[in-house]
């Protein structure tokens, strides 16, 4: 742990919101999907979640499955109510088995809930008519809510950005550098792009492990437009907290590189953000990224190969590069 003594002399940014005592935190600070690795407890479950935010952030298949299941369950519930009252109060139904009556009630409920109302089956009596009226009202509210959620998901600004699976320690000029790569993968246009990178490290201080956070200066932190891939480079010089790190240091000590990306989406006319992190097990020592774009045959257009985002090649880092 001798190598970590120098970090007491390096300014660290501890106002990150993740805490400094490593005994009170577990695992990585930020997950690969950019979400904080935090589980909130201490208050009732229903108060812990914003259902609106949850519905906006659900994967597409889960969102539509949830909407479909709610639709089916609501109609099953009302079909049970109509059957409990009795199918005699639903005009147009030919009585049959319980299953037949239930299916007929279910489709009547679906027609009422969606306010389609084909007219073959109609409620008879005040009680059934009142329930049908309430179901129609509930259907209007439900579809208004579903429409709002669909629009919210459709109109939600997203960065549509992919980060490389690994970060690398690669030769850079006369020394080495920490590098990772990102690329836009949709046909959106990002301008005024900016990246900020910080590093979390567990350091022995006063005979106990402490979380330290350091801002990592970048060779280029802002670009005017992001059209191709962007390899983000942190030069490892004597100002870097990674200065003097050997391959074993990266393997044996906990390091987490936390990245924050921000840009202006010209189509959304809004700012979009993206985050991710790389733990020490996701940092490859002695590698560099392969170029992922090339000119087309006519040399009039640039081809960006998105499937080459994670392609790297091994290189040899000579010991003098680590401390040069």
pLDDT in tens, 11-52: 554 455 555 544 556 678 888 888 888 877 788 877 777 888
The whole-number pLDDT of residue 17 equals: 54
List, run by run, the mean pLDDT of 10-residue segments along the chain (324 residues).
Answer: 49 52 66 81 78 87 94 95 86 83 91 86 88 93 93 88 94 91 92 93 74 90 93 92 87 89 91 93 92 91 93 80 56
DSSP states of 144-157 as a string?
A: HHHHHHHHHHHH--
The whole-number pLDDT of residue 10 equals: 54
The whole-number pLDDT of residue 323 equals: 56
The whole-number pLDDT of residue 319 equals: 63
Q: How far is CA 233 from CA 165, 207, 217, 287, 289, in A?
A: 16, 33, 9, 13, 12
Nearest to 263 by CA among 197, 191, 196: 191
> Quick check: helix, strand or coil at residue 210?
strand
Alpha carbon distance 28, 214 (integer Å): 15
For the chain, count helices (H), then strands (E).
7, 16
The whole-number pLDDT of residue 320 equals: 56
Give, to the nearest 10 degrees, the angle between helix 126-155 and helix 98-113: 60
The whole-number pLDDT of residue 16 equals: 57
Alpha carbon distance 251, 232 (integer Å): 22
Nearest to 230 by CA among 241, 218, 240, 239: 218
The whole-number pLDDT of residue 70 equals: 95
The whole-number pLDDT of residue 45 equals: 72
> Quick check: helix, strand or coil at residue 46?
helix
> Quick check: helix, strand or coil at residue 177?
strand
* Those residues with Cβ within 8 angstroms of residue 316's Cβ, 6 or more apart along the chain or in another chain: 286
Alpha carbon distance 238, 220 (integer Å): 18
Average pLDDT, the chain: 85
Alpha carbon distance 230, 217 (integer Å): 16
Q: For the chain, which domains are there?
A: 2-38+159-322 (2.60.40.1400), 48-155 (1.10.287.70)
Helices (H), 126-198: 126-155
* Threshold 0.85, pTM exceeds: no
Alpha carbon distance 21, 316 (integer Å): 37
N- to C-terminal Cα distance for the chain?
A: 21
The whole-number pLDDT of residue 34 equals: 81
The whole-number pLDDT of residue 24 equals: 58
Asked if 284 and 257 count as a contact pair (C-beta separation under 8 A), the reply is no
Asked if 131 and 81 count as a contact pair (C-beta separation under 8 A), the reply is yes
DSSP states of 259-304 as a string?
A: EEEEEEETTTTEEEEEEEEEEGGGEEESEEEPP-EEE-TTSSSEEE
The DSSP output letter for 95 is: P
The whole-number pLDDT of residue 2 equals: 43
Nearest to 236 by CA among 287, 289, 174, 288: 174
């Amino acid at each position: 742990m001798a190598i970590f003594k120098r970090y007491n002399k390096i300014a660290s940014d501890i106002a990150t919101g993740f805490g400094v005592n490593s005994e009170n935190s577990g695992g990585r600070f930020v997950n690969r999907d950019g979400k904080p690795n935090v589980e909130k407890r201490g208050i009732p479950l229903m108060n812990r979640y914003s259902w609106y935010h949850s519905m906006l952030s659900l994967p597409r298949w889960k969102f539509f499955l949830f909407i479909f299941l709610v639709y089916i369950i609501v109609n099953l519930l009302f079909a049970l109510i109509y059957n409990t009252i009795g199918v005699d109060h639903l005009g147009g139904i030919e009585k049959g088995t319980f299953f037949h009556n239930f299916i007929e009630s279910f489709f009547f409920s679906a027609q009422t809930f969606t306010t389609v109302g084909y007219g073959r089956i109609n409620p008879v009596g005040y009680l059934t008519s009142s329930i049908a009226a309430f179901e129609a009202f509930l259907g209007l509210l439900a579809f208004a809510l579903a429409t709002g959620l669909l629009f919210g998901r459709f109109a939600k600004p997203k960065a549509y950005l992919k980060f490389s699976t690994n970060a690398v320690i690669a030769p850079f000029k006369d020394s080495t550098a920490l590098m990772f790569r990102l690329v836009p993968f949709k046909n959106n246009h990002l301008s005024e792009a900016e990246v900020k990178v910080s590093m979390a490290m567990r350091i022995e201080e006063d005979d106990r492990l402490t979380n330290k956070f350091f801002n990592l200066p970048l060779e280029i932190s802002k670009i005017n437009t992001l059209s191709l891939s962007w390899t983000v480079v942190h030069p490892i010089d004597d100002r870097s907290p990674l200065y003097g790190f050997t391959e074993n240091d990266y393997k044996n000590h906990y390091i987490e590189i936390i990245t924050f990306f921000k840009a202006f989406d010209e189509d959304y006319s809004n700012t979009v953000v993206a985050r991710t992190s790389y733990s020490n097990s996701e940092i490859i020592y002695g590698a560099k990224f392969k170029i992922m774009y090339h000119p087309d045959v006519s040399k009039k257009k640039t081809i960006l190969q998105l499937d080459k985002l994670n392609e790297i090649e091994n290189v040899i880092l000579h010991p003098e590069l680590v401390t040069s």
